Chain A
Amino acid sequence: MPKRRLLHMPDVVSLDTYSVILVWTAIAIYTLAFIVYAVDLSRRSQESIEQHDAAESRQREKVGALNAASASPVGVDSRAADSSAAPIGAAKAPRRVFSRIGTALTVLGFLMHLGGTLLRGIAAERVPWANMWEFAMTGTLLIMAVYLGVQFWKDLRFLGTFMTGLVVVLLGASSTFYVAIVPLMDPLKSVWLVIHVFVASLSTAFLALAFGLSVMQLLQARRERLAVVAAENGGGPKRSFLRTLPSAEALEGLAYRLAIIGFILWTFTLIAGAIWAQDAWGRYWGFDVKEVWTFIIWVLYAGYIHARATRGWRGTRSAWLAIVGFVAVIFNFTIVNMYFDGLHAYSGL
């Protein structure tokens, strides 16, 4: 008996060790990507000035033409005043070398991250999301997957700094959650572990991206406000990477679309959790702390969706709701898991 274990154990240990090494490599590469993306943002600041000069001359021509055609009086609208709202992925956009390097690094980091996560799953002989360390590993992997996947739809690389930064912080901090591989506790032996936790993590990934966009939206809205004021006072534009980003309104639209995907997945998480609770605890809902927080988050995002449709709440206010919602998501994952007593005692800590 003991002999067999001696032969067997080192295998498992080393697989998990490789997994940890890969995850740390991923963190290192993400950190590099973060730096390169940050360089990209600072270059965008510079670009924004050059673009402005070009745009301004175009603007003058247009205004001239308009007046010539005796069209209606020209109002100074914020966008005309600072000609921001860069086309996303438009052909004439500069070839952002640093942005590309950042993305390439992120892909590389992602592959390491994926490898680390897969190895953990193989070593544990189950899905790699059954305790805090694994939730964090898989959750951040999905954040990166969604971030990279979304690039095929819209060029959102301006979020690169934000997303790589977020993942480095989350994954780095989660290393304190590390636990060795142990067999699953009985309540976790369920298909719902596979479905419920995965969908929750995927939802979190979409909400994370929406969160990043909402933060950008707030910054952009502030800059647009200031730009209008500056234009009225005859001041020039300030140099800012934000000037190369879509308008606040466009950012809001993007954030909303990602948030509703996250919301639908979260709704599904809630329902799947209730079904699982019915199997494991004998009732589908019992106001266990984790259930309560999942519900709070759901209601917050329902509030966000409503706010977007309510006059006076669209724009900045609804963006704050999206941010509060995501803070609640992170709170639910960290503080609630670690410090609140409840049935969801699966952090493995």
Chain B
Amino acid sequence: MRRNADAPDESKMNPDSSDPRRPSDHFESAEPSASGASAASGAVSPALGVVGWARWAWRQLTSMRTALVLLLLLAVAAVPGSLFPQRSADPNGVTQYQSDHPDIFGFLDDISMFDVYHSPWFSAIYILLFVSLIGCILPRTKHHLKALRSRPPRTPARLGRLADFRSETVDVDADEAIDAAAKQLRGAGYRIERYDSPARGRRPATRSVSAERGYLRETGNLLFHAALVGVLVAVGVGGAYKYTGQRVVVEGTTFVNTLLDYSSMNRGQAVAEDALEPYAMTLDRFDVTYQPPGSNAMSQAGDFAANVTIRRPGGDETSGVVKVNSPLTIGGDSIYLLGNGYAPTITIRDADDEIIYHDSVAFLPSGDAQMTSQGVVKVADGLPEQLGLVGFFYPTVAELETGAYASQYGDLVNPLLTLDVYAGDLGIDDGTPRNVYALDPTGMDQLTGGDTGVESIELAPGESAELPDGMGSITFEDETPEGADSAQGSTESVKRFASLQVHHDSSAVWVLVFAMLAVLGLLVALFVPRRRMWVKAVETESGVELEYAGLARGEDPTLAAAVDQLAEKHLAGLGVAPEDPDAVVEPEEPDDTHDAGGPAAFDGAGAADGTSASATPPRPASETRET
């Protein structure tokens, strides 16, 4: 048995019709020849005019090199979005950046540094990339559909010149041998075709079977690329139909799923005013646990759970729990838990002891694990002047050496509320929308705290204090339910709130489906080997010479072994063992070289005969020449 180890010119055949179609600068497609180059330059000559230019531009856009450059550009263009805060992900960060760097903010904003992923330049790159992609896969798909129906190509005249080749001279019937080989190959998943040629002149009669497998590889590649388009389309179309709203809900209160009831809402163009699922949701109880003092993670909070009751228009009630990582689904909406905090209940009475304000006000956590929180109470009516109270809430207060307060622990052990009073115009009467969590002190007088010389109001749950100037009084209500275990201390004295997000996006599942298809396509494209195999029988004086050869298309590290296997199984099936298996000539070049270099043997470059023959032992001419 003889085996070739070099990769001579026969394997560098030009791609034929059953080959996947590749952009012209794919390494497997033929290098543009001199005539090809002149044809290309002809296309851009003014004589061909607009059409010629358009065709040239299209060819450029759908080339591998353009795809590659656009991919790299996309990677680079995505970087600034991680360096600067983005409006979509971190609007507060953008505001912060503006106040920190007022001098360069304007310029950076002009070049979309805070909206990178919606910027004209980022969009231009990915749109070009996807146009290129579609321009690439459409012709390839068309071509591939045809290739799927085509027959394996004619058996090359000189199989001996292929990189993976074995031959064996045995005493069998040529026709039967090839029939057996065809059957064996078909059984192994190959598409087969018989090519026989009668003896002509000095050329002996040959019978052969040509086999090809691995069309799935190109199918996978196309599936992968098409699925990427699918992902983009699903994201784009889905964007028009999705909405996301945020809402803070205090324990014991109810929120109705209408646009009005959201503190913020983003919705796609195709979402109508009344498209929201009709339901009402009450936050019955918010649970949280804190790591005990003295542990490694003291004050770390966890096991958040918003226990809610949902009422549908029909009147049916269901209860559910919203947890981190475990949203609650109602109809097409998913409800997420984004945050939580304390909502001290405050009652304000006027000078006549009439209640003019009673509410649980959400104080936003300022970011530390000890849950120091900040909030604002706005009293618009019922007093001689509008009042704004700005303050801090400490679930477990401690006095620092400086005299300032700080919270020491996230849970309610020793809660304290401190407030400063401002009187004047809240600026809400003219209908200007105002942030409910901030007070604009312009046009207001500070009455307590700061430089006023009047002490700030400090209240523990259940305590009351006089408002300045005899305006009335303020009470920090103790919300501890009746019958609560008194041993628990004040743990239930202040209500909690949950910050919930309602999200509706039915396209997400499509994005996932396309993403999974892309992975499937990728696996197939990268791991299904595409190869051709030939078995040829040549009748010679000493018997029938059986030739086995294989040709890899793309990376195919296991081809050599596959040819060996084919030969051995076939010979064994014919009842003839290889004369001397040990006589198999090990390739001079280590297997790994062309094994890993793979497709280099198939670059269609049509190298001149013999350029790589120097490292190979010469072959007796009789074995290979068959022209």
Chain A residues packing against B (C-beta within 8 Å): 5, 62-63, 65-66, 69, 71-77, 79-80, 85-88, 90, 154, 180-187, 189-190, 192, 246-247, 249-254, 256-257, 260, 263-264, 267-268, 271, 274-276, 278-289, 292-293, 295-296, 299-300, 302-303, 306-314, 321, 336, 340-341
Say whether A246 contacts B596, CB under 8 Å.
yes
Q: How far is the CB of A270 from chain B (nearest CB, A)?
A: 8
Cα-based distance from A186 to B290 in the complex (angstroms): 12
Q: Contacts A77-B611, A279-B325 given; indicate if A296 touches B67 (C-beta within 8 A).
A: no
Q: Closest CB-CB distance, B83 to chain A, in whole Å?
A: 8
How many angstroms from the CA of A282 to the CA of B31 in the assembled complex?
Answer: 51
Contact A296 B75, beta carbon cutoff 8 Å: yes
A117 CA to B590 CA in the complex, in Å? 40
Residue of A69, A275, A281 near B336 (CB, 8 A) is: A281
A182 smallest CB distance to B (angstroms): 4
Can you spell out 28 A-B residue pairs with CB atoms less than 8 angstroms apart? Answer: A62-B617, A71-B613, A72-B611, A73-B610, A79-B615, A80-B615, A87-B590, A247-B593, A249-B593, A249-B596, A249-B597, A250-B590, A253-B555, A271-B512, A274-B515, A275-B512, A276-B325, A281-B336, A282-B501, A282-B503, A283-B244, A284-B512, A287-B117, A293-B82, A296-B75, A310-B26, A314-B27, A340-B82
Instruction: Name the interface residues of B36-92: CB closer than 8 Å to any CB of A.
Output: 64-65, 67-68, 71-72, 74-75, 78-79, 81-82, 85-86, 88-90
Contact B557 A257 (CB under 8 A): yes
Is there an interface contact between A313 and B68, defined as CB atoms closer than 8 Å?
yes
- Do A310 and B613 touch across chains, with their CB atoms under 8 A apart? no
B600 within 8 A of A: yes
Q: Say yes or no: B324 contacts A253, CB within 8 Å.
A: no
Which one of A79, A267, A276 lies within 8 Å of B522 (CB-CB)? Answer: A267
A254:B26 contact, CB within 8 angstroms:
no
A282 touches B89 (CB 8 A): no
Docked-complex contact A189 and B26, CB < 8 angstroms: no
Given contacts A72-B613, A249-B597, A306-B71, contact A282 B27 (CB under 8 A): no
Decide: B68 and A307 in contact? CB cutoff 8 A: yes
B103 CB within 8 Å of chain A: no
The 9 closest A-B pairs by CB, nearest first: A253-B596, A72-B610, A87-B590, A182-B297, A282-B336, A186-B324, A69-B618, A310-B64, A249-B597
Structural contact, A246 and B593, CB atoms closer than 8 A: yes
Q: Cβ of B613: which chain A residues have Cβ within 8 Å of it?
A: 66, 71-72, 74
Q: Which residues of B contact A281 (CB under 8 A)?
A: 336, 338
**Residues of A with C-beta under 8 A to B297:** 182-183
**In the complex, residue of chain B having the shortest beta-carbon distance to the beta carbon of A84:** B593
Q: What is the total number of residues of chain B having a CB less than 8 Å from a CB of chain A?
A: 80
Chain B residue numbers with a CB within 8 Å of A90 are: 590
Kindly list 6 other residue pairs between chains A and B, CB separation below 8 angstroms, not including A280-B324, A300-B75.
A257-B596, A268-B519, A271-B512, A284-B512, A292-B78, A302-B71
Q: Does B592 contact A (CB under 8 A)?
A: yes
Closest Cβ–Cβ distance, residue A80 to chain B (whole Å) = 5
Give Cα A287–Cα B78 distance, bound, in whole angstroms: 9
User: Are A310 and B65 also in contact (CB < 8 A) when A77-B612, A183-B291, A271-B515 are?
Assistant: yes
Q: Mark B255-299, 1 if CB is under 8 A from A, else 0.
A: 000000000000000000000000000000000000100111100
A59's nearest neighbour on chain B, judged by CB, is B615
Contact status B67-A306, CB under 8 Å: yes
Residues from chain B with Cβ under 8 Å of A284 in the complex = 508, 511-512
Measured CA separation A186–B297 after assembly (Å): 13
Residues of chain B within 8 A of A271, CB atoms compared: 512, 515-516, 519
Give chain A nearest CB distance to B203 CB in angstroms: 23
Inter-chain CA distance A249–B592, complex, in Å, is: 10
Are A253 and B595 CB-contacts (below 8 A) given A71-B618, A303-B72? yes
